[in-house]
Amino acid sequence: MKVTSAEFIISNSVVSKCPQEPLPEYAFIGRSNVGKSSLINMLTNHKNLAKTSGKPGKTQLINHFKINHNWFLVDLPGYGYARVSKSAKETFQKFITDYFEKREQLVCAFVLIDVRLEAQKIDLEFINYLGESGVPFCMIFTKADKLTRVKAESNVAAYRKKLLANNWEEMPPYFITSSESGVGRDELLTYIDQINEEVRKTL
């Protein structure tokens, strides 16, 4: 897929106010500071489509971006650590779960994970939540440029082992990416394109 257009549409915290167009949506979510904004900018070939920040918890709303006029990329707040109040965190969690459980246009969620780190409890908990809720999702391992390919694949294998030990029958689909080098971009966009084709066939 070639990204020819990417435009910001709306930010809000109420699922019912999300765009009503019957276009497929892909939601990007991960622990704060996992490199989500950088990945979105890399995928769309826009330096500042999603606002990057050195401070965790920058994204605090549901942000919709229309890509190629035919699908939505949705930037969701990070879960876990963020420099916000407890009440704000609870609000985040509520509208995040509302989005996943009520948004009919959602066709796939992408859970971002820092490939440099050992399996984090909060990531595993969120992956289990999506599995239990029946939400289709893939895993995106970010920051692959920060370590060797062998080490990256070793860390992914460790995740697989954890998931299989936690009653998963198989590892969910996954991608290894780098916003710095562009690794994984073509594979991820091709995957989205394939799903879009399947969605169009059902309309």
**Is 199 exposed, middle or buried (CB count within 10 Å of its CB: 0-12, 13-18, 19+)?**
middle
Residue extents of the structural domains in the chain: 6-202
SS (H, E, C) 131-142: HHHCCCEEEEEE
Residue range 6-202 forms a domain whose CATH class is: alpha beta
Beta strands in 57-132 (DSSP E): 62-67, 71-75, 106-114
pLDDT for res 188: 97
Return mean pLDDT, the chain.
88
In angstroms and rounded to an integer, the radius of gyration of the C-alpha atoms of the chain is 16
Q: What tens digit of pLDDT does each residue of 40-50 get?
A: 999 999 887 87
- Whether the pTM exceeds 0.95: the reply is no
pLDDT at position 59: 58
The whole-number average pLDDT for the span 58-66 is 82
pLDDT tens-digit map of 72-110: 999 998 876 545 566 665 665 788 889 999 999 999 999
Provide the pLDDT confidence category of residue 56 given band limits of 50, 70 and 90.
very low
